[in-house]
Structure 1
Amino acid sequence: MLSIFNRFMDWFMMREEAAGAMAQNPAQIMQNLSDVNVLISEPAGNFASDEAKAALLQSIINPLNEKPGLSIRLINKTFQRSLKGSLSEQFETVIEEGRKTLEEEKCDLLLWGKVELEDQAVRWHFLSAKEGEAALGVPGIAENILVPFAPEKGTLDVLYAAIFAACTPSHTSHALKIAEYLLGAVDPLTKLPAGLSNRKTPLPAKISTMGMCAVVLANIARRSEELGWFDPAIKAFNTWSELVDKNKTPLDWAMVTNHHGWLYEEMATHGDDDHAIEHIEKAIKLFESVCQVLEVRTHPLEWAAVQLRMATTCAKIGRKQSEPEYLQKAARYYKKSLTVYNQANYPLNWADTMAKMAKTMMLHGQLVKGAQSLEQAGVAFQAILQVYDQDKYPAQWANTQNNLGATLFALAKRDPSTAAWLDHALLCFENARTYYLETGKPKLVHVIDKNIIKAQELKDEIEEELNSDLLT
């Protein structure tokens, strides 16, 4: 794997002696992947004529169908996003109808879009048949690629790789094959902008192609085991950033920049990264800039999602490097997201975010050996039980009981005069233990049993000291 990677890095470093290293046709790399069945719908918008519409669609379908592993067919149906609500809400109908169509047609991916006459292009979106966030490629429905009416080879190469990436390959080797193909096909990636002529590919389409290329490489890097795969993705983002104008296409800029930040976050948590703090700071800076576009007033759910991403980023590095400062930062970002994910409108999101914040504060309290963070964590865990009812959400209820017990036990060790904390902690441990015993989780039962013994010993010590003081 490393030798293959080095060959592509030679391309990036513009070393001429590596020009003949890749004897294999890039398309052949993809032949061993599972075939992908793709539906392409008629894009929304007006065409000059039916002939013009047919020519546009065939300019994409025909060349892609000639590539290995793809089967693309046209359906006489149009999907169009709503213009109301948050960005997430605008795509709800498309997701529901699109996945239903994919199930009926037994296909893996839907390409749907809208004509952008000003740019002489179609903005294509990807919808995978698999629900949830894809682990690779295009994780959200809002990401897109602007394809000219007469696309050049470079654009089709990036679209081809993005199609595979959007279908969530099941193994890391699949992701790396897509990366090998993409880097080989654009030969090299840093020359892709020059390979898209201004006459055939308008600047917005060129920028979009570069952005999608960077997004796919970033997600591939997150799936790979080698830290070196992050470098091509970073170079792709740098090339894209030299072309894009944030003010002209703010939403598209925010989508790509969000992946850029995510890339640095993943790099920082990689075991071999020697510059984790530097990369975390870069990630936070990028995420903060995304929030300047996806503002809480206009895009509340997207804004909250980025706040959660920053919170997760800080919490990871705080735990990994035992950095109390980053744990505090994580808690602040969690609190910000709770202004959107409030208990009244999003009770489960609220409870989940509160639980993450409470765990972060509990760890912070243990690191700094102070009671304030532990007290805040205890209050948060207690509040979560208002949503995680024992009957409706028994697993979450038991986990919260266990965490609350651990927090109260930690507080009692710092302030032995408060015996009530130990009594409450023991009750919480017993509640969680009962559930774990009934559901067959012996390892968790074993851990709780040890905590119960320690808490009981501390309680006995406190009572013995109190009795001794009274006798004295």
Structure 2
Amino acid sequence: MSKLEKHYGDGETIFQEGESSNSAFVIRDGVVALYKEGERGRVLLARLSPGEILGEMGILDGGVRSATAIAVGAVTVEVFARNDFLAQLQSNPDMALKVMGKLASRLRAADAMLVAQRGESGSNLPVPYTGGAEKGRGTEAQEPGFFGRLFGGRRREATGKAGGARPAGSPLGLPAILLVPQPGHAVYAQELGERLASFGFAARVAERPGGMVQLPEIRRWLAAEGADLMIGVAGEEGMVEFRFLPTQGIEDRPGMFFPDQRLILPVEIDEPWPHLLGAMALAAVDPRGEGQARLFQTHLMGVLEAAGDSARQPPHGLYDSLAVGLALIGLANLFAQLGVIDPQGGWHREALELYRAAAERLPFDAPYEHGVAARLQGLSAQVLGERGGDLTLLREAEKAYREALSEFTRERYPRDWGLLQNRLGVVLFRQDRLSADHEVVKAAMGAFQASLSQLTRSDDPYRWAEVLHNLAQAMQIYGAHQGNAEVLAKAADACRTVQEVWTYENAPLYWAAANNTLGTAQFLLAKRTGRADHARRAGEAFQAALMVYEGQNLKKLAAQARKNLSHCQNFHPPRKPPPMDDAAWAQSQKGDESP
């Protein structure tokens, strides 16, 4: 087959919409964005990752390029001539199936875009909406309601009572939502429920039981009601305020919605913001399993692609600086949630830009909102910094977490404070391998110890084990830098304590990660002290990790474990302890071993 390799820099065009199609491409490194020109300008269609094919559409149908492909960062592609690509499809069933699957995915994405553009559910399946809560004043008036004006859509008659039938879950697999209005604001919640139902959500209005203010009991109530998400709704002076609270989810994840985080929108608002609001409801929920994650991905991408540049700026007519900043945070969360589902798609970079913009627009007298923006900015910067080995981004994450800690104090938000201390410790620890400043490891140890003072074993054993394992890794590196066998021994002891919670039976991958750290600490002790028993214990730990990695078919991790095991098997005690210069080797063991 005739093929060649080509390299593109950030922003370079690989091919242009409307050009003749005479070649196809396979991405080897980097991310490629596909755009199409629309009535309102350029619209993002997709982001393609290494291993994916692009440019095949025109070859298959004989037409011109249907989109423009642009490199996002440095990109390397293999270029295949048209005739050779067609011949390969005929002779290579795996490649043909891959192309067919891609075409099917594009059809599904196109359906989602049509749904977003038309404001319809895309399905004839019934999606019941029961209007639940007591009506507020003015709900019987014939004038257009809030979401009638907001969406310009056809209203449905709401039926049912608060506390009635549970939202059964959308037949499309979208979350079940309870809409909980403030007293006198039921009309806003009712009309939001109607519109969410038209998007495919199972939604109804309900009154929260009186006296229920603590998050754990509210979440238990939501679970009993069969809901995945609660949206609090209130209106005042031409504005409507929303709060998103998922029933359960991954704590401290990028793009999460905080319980007291608000979204404030004007009553009069234009498209595509109604659909973006629905997308935020989706982004507030953690998908259950791979299938629902892909459904969320298709739905979110459809809304964002249809919205174009409007998904990166506040709605027209919104001038209040607090509301503008909150809107930008909500938009950033959409991109960050996509980044969690599709880590290679470049979504976190877009999220990070929006979090930065939000921090600039928020007023000075909004400390909680600044804390939320900083914390979310840190999460996305950390993801990008760790993935790309970018010291600048890791330092940005450190700065953001320190700013967030000024609001999420131990006195007011004890658990959030503990989680932030752990995050701060991780980004400090990651900086060590990228800089000559080894004091950051000592600072990381302090942050992990602070986190452990709040996140205790009795209250949250798995989170406690995670933080203690992080501390063990930091102690291991610090002991290597300082030539301190006592610190290395403490790191090994910490790993053994972690394995009292991360057992082989209930968390095999985490147990293997702890064994990998334990083995590294023991091997460094062997080199430092010259004692063969430390090397033997290191080999036992690496062997245990290897057993899990081979059983899970994790080839890269298994290969590293075999290499480490061979070091132990070939260990020969030196005549005298060598100078402790093993920190670089220890850091090399901290790559991707954690699940």
SS at match of 1:145: strand
How far the C-alpha of 1:291 sits from its partner, in A, is 0.5
**Distance 1:82-1:298 versus aligned 2 partners, 3 A rule:** farther
**Distance 1:64-1:313 versus aligned 2 partners, 3 A rule:** same
**Distance 1:257-1:158 versus aligned 2 partners, 3 A rule:** farther
**Distance 1:345-1:222 versus aligned 2 partners, 3 A rule:** closer
Query: Matches of 2:473 and 2:274 in 1, distance apart?
Result: 46
Tell me the equivalent position of 2:54. Answer: none
**Distance 1:454-1:348 versus aligned 2 partners, 3 A rule:** same
**Distance 1:448-1:410 versus aligned 2 partners, 3 A rule:** same
How far the C-alpha of 1:448 sits from its partner, in A, is 7.3
Tell me the equivalent position of 1:112. Answer: 231
Contact 1:136 1:223 (C-alpha < 8 Å) held by counterparts: no
* Residue from 240, 249, 259 that aligns with 2:376: 259
How far the C-alpha of 1:283 sits from its partner, in A, is 1.5
Q: Does 1:101 align with 2:218?
A: no
* Residue from 348, 351, 371 that aligns with 2:483: 371
Tell me the equivalent position of 2:525. Answer: 411
Query: Matches of 2:336 and 2:317 in 1, distance apart?
Result: 22
How far the C-alpha of 1:209 sits from its partner, in A, is 2.4
* Residue from 45, 63, 72 that aligns with 2:195: 63
Tell me the equivalent position of 1:466. Answer: none
Q: Does 1:453 align with 2:583?
A: no
How far the C-alpha of 1:72 sits from its partner, in A, is 3.6
Query: Matches of 2:409 and 2:368 in 1, distance apart?
Result: 11
Aligned residues: 418
| AA of the residue aligned to 1:39 | I
* Greater helix share, structure number: 1
Query: Matches of 1:39 and 1:228 in 2, distance apart?
Result: 29
Tell me the equivalent position of 2:317. Answer: 196
Tell me the equivalent position of 1:181. Answer: 303
Point out which structure has higher relative CO (alpha carbons under 8 A, 6+ apart).
Answer: 1
| AA of the residue aligned to 1:260 | Q
* Residue from 377, 397, 400 that aligns with 1:286: 400
SS at match of 1:458: coil
| AA of the residue aligned to 1:371 | G
Contact 1:124 1:147 (C-alpha < 8 Å) held by counterparts: no
In the TM superposition, what whole-angstrom CA distance separates every residue of 1:313-347 from its partner, at most 9, and x where no partner exists?
A: 23345457797455444333222322323557655
SS at match of 1:42: strand
In the TM superposition, what whole-angstrom CA distance separates every residue of 1:139-186 from its partner, at most 9, and x where no partner exists?
A: 655544345566654542331111222344545685375245236426
Contact 2:515 2:541 (C-alpha < 8 Å) held by counterparts: yes
In the TM superposition, what whole-angstrom CA distance separates every residue of 1:27-51 from its partner, at most 9, and x where no partner exists?
A: 15996995424322332x321xxxx
**Distance 1:175-1:311 versus aligned 2 partners, 3 A rule:** farther
In the TM superposition, what whole-angstrom CA distance separates every residue of 1:72-94 from its partner, at most 9, and x where no partner exists?
A: 431434268965xxxxxx42112
Query: Matches of 2:356 and 2:545 in 1, distance apart?
Result: 51
Query: Matches of 1:434 and 1:244 in 2, distance apart?
Result: 51
**Distance 1:426-1:226 versus aligned 2 partners, 3 A rule:** closer
**Distance 1:446-1:81 versus aligned 2 partners, 3 A rule:** farther
SS at match of 1:294: coil
Contact 1:401 1:429 (C-alpha < 8 Å) held by counterparts: no
Q: Does 1:132 align with 2:254?
A: no
How far the C-alpha of 1:296 sits from its partner, in A, is 1.7
Tell me the equivalent position of 2:361. Answer: 243
Query: Matches of 1:342 and 1:37 in 2, distance apart?
Result: 33
**Distance 1:65-1:187 versus aligned 2 partners, 3 A rule:** farther
Contact 1:134 1:167 (C-alpha < 8 Å) held by counterparts: no
| Structural mapping, 1:454-469, within 5 Å | 454-455=570-571, 457-458=572-573
| AA of the residue aligned to 2:317 | L
**Distance 1:231-1:338 versus aligned 2 partners, 3 A rule:** closer
Tell me the equivalent position of 1:46. Answer: 183
**Distance 1:6-1:426 versus aligned 2 partners, 3 A rule:** farther
Query: Matches of 2:518 and 2:400 in 1, distance apart?
Result: 35
SS at match of 1:338: helix
**5+ residue gaps, structure 2:** 1-30, 44-66, 69-109, 124-170, 553-557, 577-595
Aligned-residue RMSD, C-alpha: 4.6
SS at match of 1:36: coil
**Distance 1:163-1:209 versus aligned 2 partners, 3 A rule:** same
Contact 1:405 1:426 (C-alpha < 8 Å) held by counterparts: no
Q: Does 1:123 align with 2:242?
A: yes
| AA of the residue aligned to 2:34 | I
Q: Does 1:217 align with 2:341?
A: no
Tell me the equivalent position of 2:203. Answer: 73
Query: Matches of 1:208 and 1:390 in 2, distance apart?
Result: 39
Query: Matches of 1:117 and 1:154 in 2, distance apart?
Result: 23
| AA of the residue aligned to 1:66 | S
Tell me the equivalent position of 1:465. Answer: none
Tell me the equivalent position of 1:308. Answer: 422
Contact 1:121 1:205 (C-alpha < 8 Å) held by counterparts: no
Contact 2:381 2:393 (C-alpha < 8 Å) held by counterparts: yes
**Distance 1:186-1:430 versus aligned 2 partners, 3 A rule:** closer
| AA of the residue aligned to 2:475 | M
| AA of the residue aligned to 1:38 | A
In the TM superposition, what whole-angstrom CA distance separates every residue of 1:427-454 from its partner, at most 9, and x where no partner exists?
A: 5654785798799859599567535523
Query: Matches of 1:296 and 1:267 in 2, distance apart?
Result: 28
* Greater strand share, structure number: 2
**Distance 1:96-1:278 versus aligned 2 partners, 3 A rule:** same
How far the C-alpha of 1:189 sits from its partner, in A, is 4.0
How far the C-alpha of 1:266 sits from its partner, in A, is 1.8
Contact 2:276 2:311 (C-alpha < 8 Å) held by counterparts: no
In the TM superposition, what whole-angstrom CA distance separates every residue of 1:232-256 from its partner, at most 9, and x where no partner exists?
A: 43443344234312423x3233223
Tell me whether 432-441 or 299-308 shows the greater mean CA deviation: 432-441
Query: Matches of 2:450 and 2:36 in 1, distance apart?
Result: 43
Tell me the equivalent position of 2:156. Answer: none
**5+ residue gaps, structure 1:** 13-19, 48-52, 84-89, 463-472
SS at match of 1:335: helix
Query: Matches of 1:325 and 1:5 in 2, distance apart?
Result: 45
**Distance 1:393-1:196 versus aligned 2 partners, 3 A rule:** same
| AA of the residue aligned to 1:71 | F
**Distance 1:181-1:431 versus aligned 2 partners, 3 A rule:** closer
Contact 1:262 1:283 (C-alpha < 8 Å) held by counterparts: yes
Identity of aligned residues (%): 17
How far the C-alpha of 1:289 sits from its partner, in A, is 0.6
